[in-house]
Amino acid sequence: MNLNQVTLPACNYEDSVAFYRRMGFTQIVHSPPRYARFECPDGDATFSIHLVDSAAVASGFVTYFECDDLDARVHDLKSRGFVFTKDVADERWLWREARLLDPSGNVICLFHAGENRKNPPWRISA
pLDDT (tens digit, 9 = 90+) per residue, 51-64? 998 766 667 889 99
pLDDT at residue 56, rounded to an integer? 61
122 in a structural domain? no
- pTM for the predicted model, two decimal places: 0.92
**Count of the separate structural domains present in the chain:** 1
62 in a structural domain? yes
Distance between CA 109 and CA 87 in Å, rounded? 10
Distance between CA 71 and CA 110 in Å, rounded? 10
Please choose, from the candidates 91, 90, 92, 86, the residue with its C-alpha nearest in 3D space to the C-alpha of residue 107: 86
CATH of the domain at 32: 3.10.180.10
Selected residue with higher pLDDT from 88 and 125: 88
**What is the residue range of 96's domain?**
5-117
90 in a structural domain? yes
**H or E stretch covering 70:** helix 70-79
123 in a structural domain? no
pLDDT at 120 > cutoff 90:
yes
Phi, psi of 5 (to 5 degrees): -165, 170
| CA 17 to chain CA mean position, Å | 13
* Strand 5-10 versus strand 46-51 pairing type: parallel
CA distances from 104 to 29, 70, 90, 125 (A): 19, 23, 27, 39
41 in a structural domain? yes
* 61 neighbors 76 (Cβ within 8 angstroms): no
58 in a structural domain? yes
106 in a structural domain? yes
